[in-house]
Amino acid sequence: GAVVSQHPSWVICKSGTSVKIECRSLDFQATTMFWYRQFPKQSLMLMATSNEGSKATYEQGVEKDKFLINHASLTLSTLTVTSAHPEDSSFYICSASTEYMDTEAFFGQGTRLTVV
């Protein structure tokens, strides 16, 4: 299957600082990338959908000014958690897809964010 690389795999930051997480599709062009958040022992919650070259579409209840998403190329999307607080500590996972609806979704390995 296709490979999606997410970096970093874990990060610890101080309250009030910003953290950037990268998601790269290594062997295919991802017209759409998705960002999820996962709390312990819970399923994935979709935060936003980003299409290359356009603004991301955020799910209801997700603060777009806090979780900045950029999808500047067909192989790279970034999620920046701005002014992070301890309640932002979570597991963040990205997913990448092509333009075709019937294809598989491929996921990165996730990023464990801890805000202290």
Partner 1 sequence: KQEVTQIPAALSVPEGENLVLNCSFTDSAIYNLQWFRQDPGKGLTSLLLIQSSQREQTSGRLNASLDKSSGRSTLYIAASQPGDSATYLCAVRIQGAQKLVFGQGTRLTINP
Q: How far is the CB of 20 from partner 1 (least distance, A)?
A: 18
Q: How far is the CB of 91 from partner 1 (least distance, A)?
A: 7
Nearer to partner 1, 77 or 95 (CB): 95
Residues near partner 1 (CB under 8 A): 1, 6, 32, 34, 41-44, 46, 49, 91, 93, 95, 97, 101-102, 104-110, 112
Concatenate the DSSP letters of all residues of the chain into one string: ---EEEE-SEEEE-TT--EEEEEEESSS--SEEEEEEE-TTS-EEEEEEEETTS--EEPTT--TTTEEEEEEETTEEEEEE-S--GGG-EEEEEEEE-S-TTSPPEE---EEEEE-
Q: How far is the CB of 49 from partner 1 (least distance, A)?
A: 6
